[in-house]
Structure 1
Amino acid sequence: MNRRAAVRTLLYIAGGTMVLPACFRESRKASIALANLSISEADEGLLEELVETLVPATDNPGGKDLLLHFFVLKMVDDCHSPDDQQAFTKGLAAFRNWSQKELGKPFAEADLEQRTALLSKVADSGDDELTSFYGMVKRRTIQGYMNSQYVMTNLVKYELIPGRYNGYFPV
């Protein structure tokens, strides 16, 4: 046997064993590590579709492209109180059930017009868990979009401090 071929085969096997665990991911866990929230993969997918509905992709990237659902999850996990985190988890389950009941199908299977019409009815639903969840998600989605690298580099024009002089500015 050729020694070089044996070493090459050994390296292929070692590389394969390093990559193999990434291929078999548990389907009951979220993609990112969260300390205080327990979110399943299905909940993460629902949140991803909700964020994409709030910030749809046009000429600019949307919520999915900017991975805003990870931002929302991380901000709720790190920056909100335990009561808000519990309300977020309950609100996510309430949103899944409410959207299934209203649409007659899962939220992810509806088209953009149906999703937008559904989100406009959240305030009229009368469910406090649902409205607080939607408020948290909407606020954090907007915050994540406005602070994303794409927006800060391509859409916001930076002006060096103190800015330009405007002699007609009312004092």
Structure 2
Amino acid sequence: MIDRRDAVASIVAMFGATLFAPLARAAGIADGGGAGIGAAIPPINTGAPSIAVFTDAQRTLMTALSERVLPTTDTPGAIAAGVPAFIEKLLADWSYPADRVPILVGLDQIDAHSRADFGVPAASATAEQQDRLLTLAMEDRMTGGAAFFHAFRQLVIAGYYTSEIGMTKEREYLPVPGSYDGAYPYSKVNKVFSS
């Protein structure tokens, strides 16, 4: 069975050179200074976060926005996969205080824009309004928007695709070692395989 650190390491390769530092640490790729780290770091999936990273309002907004990045469709979304808890654990235990700044500033900016543009807190905004707010961040049309969006999107994607739901519901899980079938019909491939 694959553990979450191995899964994170396999997922982070898709983000390339702009990998959010706490994800690199969690995957065992680098510490804060870019040096390689070893197995002395504890597993990412044990215990509650060591500190509270978010205020209650920020946590509620972070949860709502994670579902907008990976919404429930014919497969479960980010909330069902436990992505908000993953994000808080990663930011509490695998980041330095400076690493949290783009996320916290971004959440506060999104909330401020929502209150100014829509007259409601961002967590209470409609899905369409939240999508517009995320687009503003992505296009860097708010203070710290691009830094927030790129880091947040990486956290959501890594959290989702390393969860049990991401591995088994969104992707087709094939335990390794598995059997080889050289004549496997392409028409039977429904999902991306994960191992």
TM over 0.5: yes
Matching residue of 2:113? 98
Q: Kindly state the Cα deviation for residue 40 of structure 1 after the two structures are TM-superposed.
A: 1.4
For the residue of structure 1 that corresponds to 2:154, the secondary structure is helix
Structure 1 CA distance, aligned partners of 2:80 and 2:177? 32
AA at the equivalent of 1:158: L
Matched, 1:139 2:154: yes
**1:39-118 maps to which residues of 2 (within 5 A)?**
39-118=54-133
Relative contact order, higher structure (CA 8 A, sep 6+): 2
Please identify the structure whose Cα radius of gyration is greater. Answer: 1
Contact 1:36–1:85 (CA under 8 A) maintained in structure 2 = no
Change (3 A) 1:148 1:40: same
Matching residue of 2:172? 156
Contact 1:37–1:85 (CA under 8 A) maintained in structure 2 = no
Matched, 1:129 2:144: yes
Q: Kindly state the Cα deviation for residue 78 of structure 1 after the two structures are TM-superposed.
A: 1.8
Structure with greater helix share of residues: 1
Which consecutive residues of structure 2, in runs of 5 or more, have no partner in the other structure?
1-46, 183-195
Detail structure 1 runs of 4+ shifted over 3 Å in the superposition.
Answer: 32-38, 125-128, 159-166
With structure 2 as the length reference, what TM-score do the two structures score?
A: 0.58
Change (3 A) 1:131 1:163: farther
Matching residue of 2:41? none
Compute the RMSD of aligned alpha carbons: 2.7
Q: Among the aligned pairs, what percent are the same residue? A: 24
TM-superposition CA deviations, 1:7-35 (whole Å, max 9, x none)? xxxxxxxxxxxxxxxxxxxxxxxxx9544
With structure 1 as the length reference, what TM-score do the two structures score?
A: 0.65
Change (3 A) 1:48 1:40: same
Structure 2 CA distance, aligned partners of 1:129 and 1:34? 25
Contact 1:37–1:89 (CA under 8 A) maintained in structure 2 = no
Change (3 A) 1:62 1:160: same
Q: Kindly state the Cα deviation for residue 48 of structure 1 after the two structures are TM-superposed.
A: 0.7
Matching residue of 1:120? 135
